[in-house]
Amino acid sequence: MAISEREWKMIIIVSVLVGLATISAILRLYARFKLRVRIEADDYLCFTALFLMYGMLIQLILWCTIGGNGTHISDIFIANQFTYFALVPVLKISFISFYRRIFFTSHRFNIISCTFIWMIGIWGAGIFLICALQCRPLRGYWDKSVEATCINGNVFFIVNQGFNVVMDFVILALPLPIIFNLKRAWQDKVALSGIFALGGFVCFASIYRIVVLFYIDPKDPTHTVYRATLWTHIEPSVGLICSCLPTIRGLFPAYRWHSRSSPYPPDHHEYIDSSSNRGAEHLVPSDLSKNSVYIMMEDGVVKPEQDQRWLEDQHGIEENEGQRERGIEMRTNVKAVQGLM
């Protein structure tokens, strides 16, 4: 069966987006190794989402070649729905897990973010179960010769997408209060907010996907589902790219925004990273004195240390001692940085 022009366009668009998502994920992983930051839950979830995207891309190609997506045909692969319903919660939890890695010092934020993680996880499991039971027997979903009792598919998809839209806006807004409460130059706040604000396109994609779902004809879904299918792939692909951008930005400290009157050196970094057990990157206020040394303890506490013995003509020093004069316990490898922020 020949592939139609719009099927080719859909395959090309989705392939490009998945390719960009792959590059973003690779750069994210490279940034972790370069900055010597330990791989944690949000990274594993990111790559899990990426592999699920590969599955959706393969299913799309099969739809366009074997299944005939975009043409009038009765058979349809339900595997795409299962993959999508698994992908979306994984990607959203990856976002929130990344926030928790950075803003871990806020107890209130940890409680709120943990609540949303549980909400998304429970909702995702419920949607996955409903998808498996939407037709009894399930074969009746794609084989119309089988007598089956099915739920209203359009209502099911729209309700699920409505929840996704709400969660997308929550994820977009969740870190903004903390970012603007940081004592940083306004340029830094704009840059940080700009990265997170790119997630606004994901919110738009989620809303637009609800709109196109109303145009699906239940009597001929495979022909009328074209736009919904396209945006089903665009939404998570752009979301994964956005989730990687804050980490990728750490690879280019020299290009961060700063004013000429900024009291901070041009090569200072936005994150403090340590090789401790926590192994995470952390945002700290940018009004730290450049004449001080700031110690990232294993428990994530940033403490000033004025002792010049910590400075040995290098930007970063790793020490592994039991106790220093001022009662600072060095339980593992610690990085001391002068004028870091």
At residue 293, the pLDDT reads 38
Q: What percent of the chain has pLDDT over 70?
A: 63
Q: How many CB atoms lie within 10 A of CB 45?
A: 21
Q: What is the CATH number of domain 5-251?
A: 1.20.1070
Write the pLDDT tens digit of every residue in 126-180.
999 999 888 888 887 777 778 888 888 888 988 999 999 999 999 888 887 877 7
At residue 160, the pLDDT reads 92
**Distance linking the first and last C-alpha atoms of the chain:** 60
Q: Which of 62, 201, 82 is nearest to 134 (CA)?
A: 82
DSSP string, 16-56: HHHHHHHHHHHHHHHHHHHTT----HHHHHHHHHHHHHHHH
Given a cut of 60, whether residue 259 has pLDDT beyond it is no
At residue 327, the pLDDT reads 43
Rounded mean pLDDT, 12-30 = 95
235/196: higher pLDDT: 235
Beta bridge partners of 316: 337
Q: Are the beta carbons of 165 and 207 closer than 8 angstroms?
A: yes
d(CA 101, CA 27): 18
Given a cut of 60, whether residue 288 has pLDDT beyond it is no
Q: Are the beta carbons of 23 and 75 closer than 8 angstroms?
A: no
Domain ranges in the chain are 5-251, 271-338
d(CA 161, CA 312): 56
Rounded mean pLDDT, 233-258 = 78
d(CA 189, CA 93): 24
At residue 3, the pLDDT reads 76
Rounded mean pLDDT, 228-252 = 87
Given a cut of 90, whether residue 1 has pLDDT beyond it is no
Rounded mean pLDDT, 257-279 = 40
Six-digit token pair at 17?
Answer: 């987006």
At residue 201, the pLDDT reads 80
Given a cut of 80, whether residue 19 has pLDDT beyond it is yes
User: Residue 316: which H helix or E strand, with range?
Assistant: strand 316-319
Judging by DSSP bridges, how do beta strands 316-319 and 334-338 pair with one another?
antiparallel
User: What is the DSSP-derived secondary structure letter of residue 335?
Assistant: E
Six-digit token pair at 171?
Answer: 């994820």
Six-digit token pair at 61?
Answer: 């190609």
User: What mean pLDDT value characterizes the chain?
Assistant: 73
Given a cut of 50, whether residue 285 has pLDDT beyond it is no
Rounded mean pLDDT, 237-244 = 90
Q: Which of 213, 197, 268 is nearest to 84 (CA)?
A: 213
pLDDT band per the 50, 70, 90 thresholds, residue 340: very low
Give the angle 179-113-165 at the CA atoms, nearest 5°: 90
Q: How many residues are present in the chain?
A: 341
Predicted TM-score (pTM) of this structure: 0.72
Write the pLDDT tens digit of every residue in 52-109.
999 999 988 888 887 655 444 545 568 888 999 999 999 999 999 988 888 877 888 8
Beta bridge partners of 262: none
Judging by DSSP bridges, how do beta strands 316-319 and 149-150 pair with one another?
unpaired
Write the pLDDT tens digit of every residue in 104-129.
778 888 999 999 999 999 999 999 99
Six-digit token pair at 81?
Answer: 């729905």
At residue 224, the pLDDT reads 67
d(CA 232, CA 97): 23
Given a cut of 50, whether residue 232 has pLDDT beyond it is yes
pLDDT band per the 50, 70, 90 thresholds, residue 332: very low
pLDDT band per the 50, 70, 90 thresholds, residue 186: low
